[in-house]
Structure 1
Amino acid sequence: MFTGLIREFAEVLSYTTPILTLRATYKPKIGDSIAINGACLTVISLFEGGFSVELSQESRSLLAVENLKGKVHIEPALALGDRLDGHMVQGHVDCVGVIEKLNQKENGLDIEVSIPTKQLIYVIPKGSITIDGVSLTVNDVNEKSFRLTIIPHTLAQTLIGTYKLGRRVNVETDMFARYLHHMFSKKEGLDWNSVDRIMAIY
Protein backbone atom coordinates (compact mmCIF):
# COMPACT_ATOMS: atom_id res chain seq x y z
CA MET A 1 0.00 0.00 0.00
CA PHE A 2 0.99 3.59 -0.68
CA THR A 3 -0.38 7.06 0.03
CA GLY A 4 0.23 8.87 -3.25
CA LEU A 5 2.70 11.28 -1.62
CA ILE A 6 5.92 11.36 -3.62
CA ARG A 7 9.09 10.68 -1.64
CA GLU A 8 11.55 11.99 -4.19
CA PHE A 9 12.46 12.18 -7.85
CA ALA A 10 14.66 9.33 -9.04
CA GLU A 11 16.78 9.48 -12.19
CA VAL A 12 16.40 6.74 -14.78
CA LEU A 13 19.83 5.36 -15.62
CA SER A 14 18.50 2.76 -18.03
CA TYR A 15 15.38 0.92 -19.08
CA THR A 16 16.08 -2.23 -21.04
CA THR A 17 12.95 -4.37 -21.05
CA PRO A 18 12.14 -5.62 -18.47
CA ILE A 19 14.73 -4.04 -16.11
CA LEU A 20 14.50 -0.43 -14.94
CA THR A 21 17.57 0.97 -13.17
CA LEU A 22 17.34 4.14 -11.09
CA ARG A 23 19.62 6.50 -9.21
CA ALA A 24 18.03 7.66 -5.94
CA THR A 25 18.92 8.78 -2.44
CA TYR A 26 16.34 6.36 -1.04
CA LYS A 27 17.93 3.05 -0.09
CA PRO A 28 15.52 0.08 -0.34
CA LYS A 29 16.22 -3.58 0.36
CA ILE A 30 16.02 -6.48 -2.08
CA GLY A 31 12.36 -7.53 -2.37
CA ASP A 32 10.95 -4.18 -1.23
CA SER A 33 7.90 -2.79 -3.02
CA ILE A 34 8.28 0.71 -4.39
CA ALA A 35 5.95 2.77 -6.57
CA ILE A 36 7.57 4.14 -9.73
CA ASN A 37 5.28 6.69 -11.40
CA GLY A 38 2.46 5.01 -9.49
CA ALA A 39 3.24 1.39 -10.40
CA CYS A 40 4.11 -0.99 -7.57
CA LEU A 41 7.34 -2.75 -8.55
CA THR A 42 9.80 -5.03 -6.73
CA VAL A 43 13.44 -4.17 -6.06
CA ILE A 44 15.62 -6.93 -7.53
CA SER A 45 19.14 -5.51 -7.16
CA LEU A 46 21.05 -2.75 -5.38
CA PHE A 47 24.17 -0.75 -6.11
CA GLU A 48 25.85 2.32 -4.65
CA GLY A 49 23.41 5.19 -5.17
CA GLY A 50 20.54 3.27 -6.68
CA PHE A 51 18.59 0.10 -7.42
CA SER A 52 16.83 -1.88 -10.16
CA VAL A 53 13.26 -3.13 -10.47
CA GLU A 54 11.65 -5.54 -12.90
CA LEU A 55 8.47 -4.90 -14.92
CA SER A 56 6.31 -7.89 -15.81
CA GLN A 57 4.70 -8.15 -19.22
CA GLU A 58 1.35 -7.31 -17.58
CA SER A 59 2.81 -4.15 -16.05
CA ARG A 60 4.37 -3.07 -19.32
CA SER A 61 1.04 -3.47 -21.10
CA LEU A 62 -0.71 -1.13 -18.62
CA LEU A 63 1.89 1.60 -18.12
CA ALA A 64 3.08 4.64 -20.02
CA VAL A 65 6.55 3.10 -20.32
CA GLU A 66 7.72 5.89 -22.64
CA ASN A 67 7.97 8.07 -19.50
CA LEU A 68 10.60 5.82 -17.94
CA LYS A 69 13.35 8.28 -18.75
CA GLY A 70 14.76 11.37 -17.10
CA LYS A 71 13.12 11.84 -13.71
CA VAL A 72 10.35 9.68 -12.24
CA HIS A 73 8.27 9.76 -9.05
CA ILE A 74 9.09 7.20 -6.37
CA GLU A 75 7.30 6.28 -3.15
CA PRO A 76 8.25 3.39 -0.83
CA ALA A 77 5.46 1.13 0.41
CA LEU A 78 3.82 2.03 3.72
CA ALA A 79 5.23 0.43 6.86
CA LEU A 80 2.97 -0.57 9.75
CA GLY A 81 2.43 2.49 11.94
CA ASP A 82 3.23 5.04 9.21
CA ARG A 83 1.07 8.14 9.10
CA LEU A 84 -1.54 7.97 6.34
CA ASP A 85 -1.84 11.16 4.33
CA GLY A 86 -3.01 11.30 0.72
CA HIS A 87 -5.31 8.30 0.22
CA MET A 88 -5.06 4.50 0.10
CA VAL A 89 -3.20 3.64 -3.10
CA GLN A 90 -2.42 0.10 -4.23
CA GLY A 91 0.12 0.85 -6.92
CA HIS A 92 -2.06 -1.12 -9.36
CA VAL A 93 -2.35 1.12 -12.41
CA ASP A 94 -5.76 0.74 -14.08
CA CYS A 95 -5.05 2.44 -17.37
CA VAL A 96 -3.16 5.13 -19.21
CA GLY A 97 -4.75 8.57 -19.42
CA VAL A 98 -3.97 11.45 -21.76
CA ILE A 99 -3.49 15.11 -20.79
CA GLU A 100 -6.14 16.91 -22.88
CA LYS A 101 -6.08 20.43 -21.41
CA LEU A 102 -3.76 22.56 -19.28
CA ASN A 103 -5.13 25.83 -17.90
CA GLN A 104 -3.02 28.06 -15.68
CA LYS A 105 -4.98 29.50 -12.75
CA GLU A 106 -4.17 32.25 -10.27
CA ASN A 107 -2.90 29.76 -7.69
CA GLY A 108 -2.54 26.48 -9.51
CA LEU A 109 -2.97 24.52 -12.70
CA ASP A 110 -6.14 22.92 -14.03
CA ILE A 111 -5.57 19.65 -15.86
CA GLU A 112 -8.09 17.64 -17.85
CA VAL A 113 -7.30 13.94 -18.30
CA SER A 114 -9.15 11.54 -20.59
CA ILE A 115 -9.32 7.82 -19.80
CA PRO A 116 -11.30 4.88 -21.21
CA THR A 117 -15.01 4.71 -20.30
CA LYS A 118 -14.38 1.37 -18.59
CA GLN A 119 -12.30 3.16 -15.93
CA LEU A 120 -14.13 6.51 -15.96
CA ILE A 121 -17.07 4.93 -14.11
CA TYR A 122 -14.81 4.68 -11.04
CA VAL A 123 -14.00 8.41 -11.05
CA ILE A 124 -16.18 10.44 -8.69
CA PRO A 125 -16.41 14.25 -8.29
CA LYS A 126 -14.47 15.22 -5.14
CA GLY A 127 -13.15 11.66 -4.95
CA SER A 128 -9.51 10.55 -5.00
CA ILE A 129 -7.39 9.53 -7.98
CA THR A 130 -3.72 8.84 -8.58
CA ILE A 131 -1.81 10.30 -11.54
CA ASP A 132 1.72 8.93 -12.00
CA GLY A 133 1.65 8.03 -8.32
CA VAL A 134 0.43 11.42 -7.07
CA SER A 135 -2.69 11.48 -4.86
CA LEU A 136 -5.11 14.09 -6.21
CA THR A 137 -8.73 15.18 -5.79
CA VAL A 138 -11.13 15.09 -8.72
CA ASN A 139 -12.93 18.40 -9.33
CA ASP A 140 -15.51 17.17 -11.81
CA VAL A 141 -16.14 14.39 -14.30
CA ASN A 142 -17.19 14.77 -17.92
CA GLU A 143 -18.30 12.26 -20.53
CA LYS A 144 -14.74 11.21 -21.44
CA SER A 145 -12.48 12.95 -18.95
CA PHE A 146 -12.05 14.45 -15.49
CA ARG A 147 -10.61 17.73 -14.23
CA LEU A 148 -8.03 18.28 -11.50
CA THR A 149 -6.60 21.42 -9.92
CA ILE A 150 -2.94 21.15 -8.95
CA ILE A 151 -1.89 23.61 -6.24
CA PRO A 152 1.58 25.26 -6.28
CA HIS A 153 2.90 23.00 -3.46
CA THR A 154 2.06 19.87 -5.46
CA LEU A 155 3.56 21.38 -8.62
CA ALA A 156 6.79 22.01 -6.70
CA GLN A 157 6.93 18.52 -5.18
CA THR A 158 6.07 16.53 -8.33
CA LEU A 159 6.82 16.48 -12.05
CA ILE A 160 3.27 17.47 -13.00
CA GLY A 161 4.31 21.06 -13.71
CA THR A 162 6.44 19.76 -16.61
CA TYR A 163 3.62 17.84 -18.31
CA LYS A 164 2.60 18.82 -21.83
CA LEU A 165 -0.59 18.32 -23.84
CA GLY A 166 -0.84 14.77 -25.14
CA ARG A 167 1.37 13.27 -22.46
CA ARG A 168 0.26 9.81 -21.37
CA VAL A 169 0.06 9.25 -17.62
CA ASN A 170 -0.48 6.26 -15.34
CA VAL A 171 -3.91 6.37 -13.69
CA GLU A 172 -5.11 4.45 -10.65
CA THR A 173 -8.75 5.04 -9.75
CA ASP A 174 -10.01 4.92 -6.17
CA MET A 175 -9.89 1.33 -4.94
CA PHE A 176 -13.02 1.68 -2.81
CA ALA A 177 -15.00 2.85 -5.85
CA ARG A 178 -13.75 -0.21 -7.76
CA TYR A 179 -14.65 -2.58 -4.93
CA LEU A 180 -18.14 -1.15 -4.49
CA HIS A 181 -18.87 -1.22 -8.21
CA HIS A 182 -17.71 -4.82 -8.43
CA MET A 183 -19.82 -5.92 -5.47
CA PHE A 184 -23.00 -4.12 -6.49
CA SER A 185 -22.73 -5.21 -10.12
CA LYS A 186 -22.87 -8.90 -9.17
CA LYS A 187 -26.19 -10.53 -9.92
CA GLU A 188 -26.48 -12.07 -6.48
CA GLY A 189 -26.06 -8.66 -4.81
CA LEU A 190 -25.01 -8.11 -1.19
CA ASP A 191 -26.33 -9.43 2.09
CA TRP A 192 -25.54 -8.28 5.63
CA ASN A 193 -23.05 -11.11 6.18
CA SER A 194 -21.10 -9.90 3.16
CA VAL A 195 -21.18 -6.33 4.45
CA ASP A 196 -19.90 -7.49 7.86
CA ARG A 197 -17.01 -9.34 6.21
CA ILE A 198 -16.11 -6.28 4.14
CA MET A 199 -16.20 -3.99 7.19
CA ALA A 200 -13.96 -6.40 9.10
CA ILE A 201 -11.25 -6.04 6.43
CA TYR A 202 -10.91 -2.33 7.13
Structure 2
Amino acid sequence: MFSGLVREIAPIKDFKENKLYIQSPLRPKIGDSIAVNGACLTVIENKNDGFILELTHHTQEKIATENLQYQAHIEPALQMSDRFDGHFVQGHIDAIGEITQIKHHHNQSDFLIQVPSHITHLLIPKGSITIDGISLTISECTHNLLSLTLIPHTLKQTLFHTYKVGRRVNIETDMIVRSIAHILSCKKQNQWDQFDQITLGY
Protein backbone atom coordinates (compact mmCIF):
# COMPACT_ATOMS: atom_id res chain seq x y z
CA MET A 1 0.00 0.00 0.00
CA PHE A 2 1.19 3.51 -0.86
CA SER A 3 0.05 7.08 -0.27
CA GLY A 4 0.90 8.76 -3.57
CA LEU A 5 3.47 11.02 -1.90
CA VAL A 6 6.72 10.48 -3.76
CA ARG A 7 9.77 10.22 -1.49
CA GLU A 8 12.44 10.51 -4.14
CA ILE A 9 13.10 11.31 -7.78
CA ALA A 10 15.68 8.67 -8.63
CA PRO A 11 17.96 8.26 -11.66
CA ILE A 12 17.43 5.15 -13.76
CA LYS A 13 20.74 3.44 -14.44
CA ASP A 14 19.50 0.66 -16.69
CA PHE A 15 16.34 -0.97 -17.99
CA LYS A 16 16.76 -4.18 -19.95
CA GLU A 17 14.12 -6.81 -20.60
CA ASN A 18 12.43 -7.33 -17.22
CA LYS A 19 14.97 -5.67 -14.90
CA LEU A 20 14.95 -2.02 -13.82
CA TYR A 21 18.09 -0.69 -12.10
CA ILE A 22 17.38 2.35 -9.89
CA GLN A 23 20.14 4.49 -8.36
CA SER A 24 19.12 5.46 -4.84
CA PRO A 25 20.40 5.75 -1.25
CA LEU A 26 17.34 3.70 -0.24
CA ARG A 27 18.26 0.22 1.02
CA PRO A 28 15.16 -1.96 0.69
CA LYS A 29 15.00 -5.64 1.56
CA ILE A 30 14.71 -8.29 -1.14
CA GLY A 31 11.00 -8.74 -1.83
CA ASP A 32 10.05 -5.21 -0.74
CA SER A 33 7.48 -3.32 -2.80
CA ILE A 34 8.52 -0.02 -4.38
CA ALA A 35 6.22 2.16 -6.49
CA VAL A 36 8.01 3.44 -9.60
CA ASN A 37 5.99 6.08 -11.45
CA GLY A 38 3.02 4.65 -9.60
CA ALA A 39 3.55 0.99 -10.51
CA CYS A 40 4.15 -1.42 -7.62
CA LEU A 41 7.31 -3.42 -8.34
CA THR A 42 9.33 -5.97 -6.34
CA VAL A 43 12.97 -5.59 -5.31
CA ILE A 44 15.00 -8.61 -6.46
CA GLU A 45 18.57 -7.42 -5.88
CA ASN A 46 20.50 -4.72 -4.01
CA LYS A 47 23.51 -2.86 -5.43
CA ASN A 48 26.07 -0.55 -3.85
CA ASP A 49 24.37 2.45 -5.44
CA GLY A 50 20.77 1.29 -5.62
CA PHE A 51 18.56 -1.72 -6.29
CA ILE A 52 17.00 -3.76 -9.07
CA LEU A 53 13.28 -4.36 -9.55
CA GLU A 54 11.52 -6.87 -11.77
CA LEU A 55 8.75 -6.07 -14.24
CA THR A 56 6.56 -8.84 -15.56
CA HIS A 57 5.43 -8.88 -19.18
CA HIS A 58 1.93 -8.00 -17.95
CA THR A 59 3.22 -4.94 -16.07
CA GLN A 60 5.19 -3.72 -19.08
CA GLU A 61 2.05 -3.89 -21.20
CA LYS A 62 0.07 -1.81 -18.67
CA ILE A 63 2.48 1.07 -18.01
CA ALA A 64 4.28 3.74 -20.03
CA THR A 65 7.67 2.00 -20.15
CA GLU A 66 9.14 4.68 -22.44
CA ASN A 67 9.36 6.93 -19.36
CA LEU A 68 11.75 4.54 -17.61
CA GLN A 69 14.85 6.08 -19.17
CA TYR A 70 16.22 8.93 -17.08
CA GLN A 71 14.39 9.55 -13.80
CA ALA A 72 11.34 8.20 -12.01
CA HIS A 73 9.12 8.90 -9.02
CA ILE A 74 9.94 6.50 -6.17
CA GLU A 75 7.82 5.63 -3.13
CA PRO A 76 8.52 2.73 -0.75
CA ALA A 77 5.50 0.85 0.60
CA LEU A 78 3.90 2.36 3.70
CA GLN A 79 4.73 1.04 7.15
CA MET A 80 2.25 0.91 10.02
CA SER A 81 4.11 3.69 11.84
CA ASP A 82 4.07 6.09 8.85
CA ARG A 83 2.01 9.23 8.85
CA PHE A 84 -0.67 8.89 6.20
CA ASP A 85 -1.20 11.75 3.77
CA GLY A 86 -2.29 11.60 0.14
CA HIS A 87 -4.82 8.78 -0.37
CA PHE A 88 -4.92 4.97 -0.49
CA VAL A 89 -2.86 3.83 -3.48
CA GLN A 90 -2.27 0.21 -4.46
CA GLY A 91 0.30 0.69 -7.19
CA HIS A 92 -1.93 -1.08 -9.73
CA ILE A 93 -2.07 0.92 -12.95
CA ASP A 94 -5.56 1.05 -14.48
CA ALA A 95 -4.74 2.84 -17.72
CA ILE A 96 -2.32 5.04 -19.62
CA GLY A 97 -3.35 8.63 -20.32
CA GLU A 98 -1.86 11.29 -22.57
CA ILE A 99 -1.23 14.93 -21.73
CA THR A 100 -3.00 17.07 -24.31
CA GLN A 101 -2.61 20.55 -22.82
CA ILE A 102 -0.45 22.36 -20.26
CA LYS A 103 -1.05 25.93 -19.08
CA HIS A 104 1.20 27.62 -16.55
CA HIS A 105 -0.16 30.52 -14.51
CA HIS A 106 1.22 32.68 -11.70
CA ASN A 107 0.30 30.35 -8.84
CA GLN A 108 -0.82 27.14 -10.55
CA SER A 109 -0.32 24.88 -13.55
CA ASP A 110 -3.23 23.22 -15.35
CA PHE A 111 -2.83 19.85 -17.05
CA LEU A 112 -5.40 18.28 -19.36
CA ILE A 113 -5.12 14.51 -19.79
CA GLN A 114 -6.94 12.28 -22.26
CA VAL A 115 -7.96 8.98 -20.69
CA PRO A 116 -9.33 5.71 -22.10
CA SER A 117 -13.12 5.38 -22.06
CA HIS A 118 -13.06 2.27 -19.83
CA ILE A 119 -12.05 4.31 -16.75
CA THR A 120 -14.15 7.46 -17.24
CA HIS A 121 -16.89 6.18 -14.92
CA LEU A 122 -14.29 6.00 -12.14
CA LEU A 123 -13.36 9.69 -12.36
CA ILE A 124 -15.11 12.04 -9.94
CA PRO A 125 -14.68 15.85 -9.88
CA LYS A 126 -12.72 16.76 -6.71
CA GLY A 127 -11.96 13.06 -6.26
CA SER A 128 -8.53 11.48 -5.89
CA ILE A 129 -6.37 10.07 -8.65
CA THR A 130 -2.77 8.94 -8.97
CA ILE A 131 -0.74 10.13 -11.97
CA ASP A 132 2.75 8.61 -12.30
CA GLY A 133 2.64 7.82 -8.60
CA ILE A 134 1.57 11.31 -7.47
CA SER A 135 -1.62 11.67 -5.40
CA LEU A 136 -3.65 14.46 -7.01
CA THR A 137 -7.17 15.86 -7.03
CA ILE A 138 -9.25 15.88 -10.20
CA SER A 139 -10.36 19.44 -10.97
CA GLU A 140 -12.86 18.50 -13.66
CA CYS A 141 -13.65 15.54 -15.89
CA THR A 142 -15.71 15.51 -19.07
CA HIS A 143 -16.01 12.72 -21.62
CA ASN A 144 -12.49 11.30 -22.03
CA LEU A 145 -10.65 14.23 -20.46
CA LEU A 146 -9.63 15.07 -16.92
CA SER A 147 -8.00 18.25 -15.68
CA LEU A 148 -5.54 18.70 -12.85
CA THR A 149 -4.41 21.85 -11.08
CA LEU A 150 -0.95 21.72 -9.52
CA ILE A 151 0.44 24.26 -7.08
CA PRO A 152 4.05 25.44 -7.68
CA HIS A 153 5.38 23.23 -4.85
CA THR A 154 3.98 20.04 -6.41
CA LEU A 155 5.21 21.08 -9.85
CA LYS A 156 8.77 21.67 -8.64
CA GLN A 157 9.03 18.69 -6.28
CA THR A 158 7.94 16.15 -8.90
CA LEU A 159 8.83 15.44 -12.52
CA PHE A 160 5.70 17.27 -13.63
CA HIS A 161 7.79 20.37 -14.35
CA THR A 162 9.50 18.39 -17.15
CA TYR A 163 6.31 17.03 -18.72
CA LYS A 164 5.34 18.05 -22.25
CA VAL A 165 2.21 17.71 -24.34
CA GLY A 166 2.08 14.19 -25.78
CA ARG A 167 3.68 12.50 -22.79
CA ARG A 168 1.95 9.30 -21.69
CA VAL A 169 1.34 8.89 -17.97
CA ASN A 170 0.39 6.00 -15.67
CA ILE A 171 -3.07 6.34 -14.11
CA GLU A 172 -4.46 4.63 -11.02
CA THR A 173 -8.04 5.51 -10.14
CA ASP A 174 -9.24 5.85 -6.56
CA MET A 175 -9.37 2.44 -4.88
CA ILE A 176 -12.61 3.15 -3.01
CA VAL A 177 -14.44 4.37 -6.13
CA ARG A 178 -13.12 1.39 -8.09
CA SER A 179 -14.27 -1.07 -5.43
CA ILE A 180 -17.78 0.39 -5.25
CA ALA A 181 -18.09 0.40 -9.04
CA HIS A 182 -17.05 -3.25 -9.18
CA ILE A 183 -19.51 -4.29 -6.47
CA LEU A 184 -22.37 -2.50 -8.21
CA SER A 185 -21.51 -4.01 -11.58
CA CYS A 186 -21.75 -7.50 -10.08
CA LYS A 187 -25.20 -7.02 -8.58
CA LYS A 188 -28.25 -8.06 -10.59
CA GLN A 189 -30.77 -6.73 -8.09
CA ASN A 190 -31.52 -3.11 -7.27
CA GLN A 191 -27.96 -1.85 -7.11
CA TRP A 192 -28.49 1.14 -4.84
CA ASP A 193 -30.36 -1.01 -2.29
CA GLN A 194 -27.36 -3.32 -2.28
CA PHE A 195 -25.01 -0.36 -1.88
CA ASP A 196 -27.04 0.92 1.10
CA GLN A 197 -26.83 -2.50 2.74
CA ILE A 198 -23.06 -2.59 2.29
CA THR A 199 -22.45 0.92 3.68
CA LEU A 200 -24.85 0.49 6.60
CA GLY A 201 -22.96 -2.64 7.59
CA TYR A 202 -19.89 -0.61 8.58
TM-score range (shorter-chain normalised) is over 0.9
Aligned residues: 198
TM-superposed CA distance for 1:64, in Å, is: 0.1
Structure 2 SS opposite 1:119: helix
Matched residues in 2 for 1:154 and 1:113: separation? 17
Change (3 A) 1:152 1:191: closer
Which residue of 1 is the match for residue 167 of structure 2?
Answer: 167
Gaps (5+ residues) in structure 1?
none
Q: How does 1:101-120 map to 2 (within 5 A)?
A: 101-120=101-120
Q: How does 1:30-179 map to 2 (within 5 A)?
A: 30-179=30-179
Alpha-carbon deviations, 1:44-66, whole Å to 9, x = none? 00011100000011111100000
Q: Secondary structure at the match of 1:149?
A: strand
TM-score (norm 2): 0.94
- Percent of residue pairs bearing the same amino acid type: 46
For 1:67 and 1:158, locate their aligned partners in 2 and report how far apart those are by CA, in whole Å. 14
2:122 counterpart SS class: coil
Deviation at 1:182, TM superposition (A): 1.0
The answer to whether the Cα contact below 8 Å between 2:184 and 2:195 also exists between their aligned partners in 1 is no
| CA distance 1:151–1:191, change in 2 (3 Å) | closer
Q: Which amino acid aligns with 2:83?
A: R
Query: Once the two structures are superposed, what CA deviation does each residue of 1:30-55 show, in whole Å capped at 9, x if it has no partner?
Result: 11000000000000000111000000
TM-score, normalised with respect to structure 1: 0.94
Kindly report the root-mean-square deviation, in angstroms, between the aligned alpha carbons of the 2 structures: 1.3
